[in-house]
Amino acid sequence: MTTINPEQIILGPMVTEKTISAQSRSVYSFWVSPRSSKSQIYQAFLSVFGIKPLSIRTSMSLGKVKMDARKRMPIQKPTRKKAHITLAKDQKIELLNFNTK
């Protein structure tokens, strides 16, 4: 298995209303590399944030074919992978907390 930098595995946080409300339950969502496994995501999360996750759930969103209005040609959108990472109740990631009521 080749070694990959954690920055190449965890691409960025998912920021939607649903993921922000899930942060109150200590569930954080990230876009990750489509070729990464759960063990690679676990190691990357541990090295970046220094927190051991309780569980990791992943899902793939397949890229759709859209029509370009200007060129009138189909465009293939990229396939993306999501990771929903559950932490312990007392652990938080301060970088991603928003002021929610």
pLDDT given at position 48: 92
pLDDT given at position 98: 59
Q: What domains are there in the chain, each with its CATH number?
A: 6-90 (3.30.70.330)
Mean pLDDT per block of 10 residues along the chain (101 residues) reads: 77 92 92 94 94 96 93 93 95 69 54
The Cβ of residue 13 has, within 10 Å, a number of other Cβ atoms equal to 16
- Residue 98 CA to residue 33 CA, distance in Å, equals 25
pLDDT given at position 92: 87
pTM: 0.82
End-to-end CA distance of the chain: 44
pLDDT given at position 5: 82
